[in-house]
Amino acid sequence: MNTGPRYARRTDSNHAELRECIRDCALAYPQMHIAWVDTSNLGGKVGDGIIQFWAIGRHRIFNTHILEFKSSKKKKFTVSQETNPLELVRINCRADIFELLGVNDWELS
């Protein structure tokens, strides 16, 4: 399977921080059953990771998202990311993760 052009597989400068934030959320919110797979080593259109979780609320909805980490709001998607037939969810900072999960950031509480 071709995932797009082959480039050096580099991660954004905030990749480790965001990955750890997701792992911390999985521990902090066990009722959400957060599952995370880091796919940054695959390159191309795949994205930086795949997250699955049960949304907290009146209706339990199972969510699956392909995440693309960017270290700045100024950074743009690559051509292969733009043309991806699947929707990539852009994550710039930890606040974006908490917004996606629909929970409050414990550091802001």
pLDDT of 4 > 70? The answer is no
CA contacts within 13 A on the Cβ side of 66: 14
pLDDT for residue 96 is more than 70? yes
pLDDT of residue 86: 87
Cβ burial of 45 (10 Å; 0-12, 13-18, 19+) is buried
**pLDDT attached to residue 2:** 57
Domain assignments of the chain as residue spans, ordered by start? 16-101
If we measure between CA atoms, which residue out of 61, 60, 49 comes closest to residue 89?
49
pLDDT digits over 25-68, tens only?
999 999 999 999 999 888 767 889 999 999 877 778 899 999 99
CATH of 16-101, one of 1.10.3470, 3.40.1350, 1.10.357, 1.10.1660: 3.40.1350
User: What is the pTM for the complete model shown?
Assistant: 0.82
Q: In angstroms, what CA-CA distances link 57 with 29, 98, 102?
A: 13, 14, 9
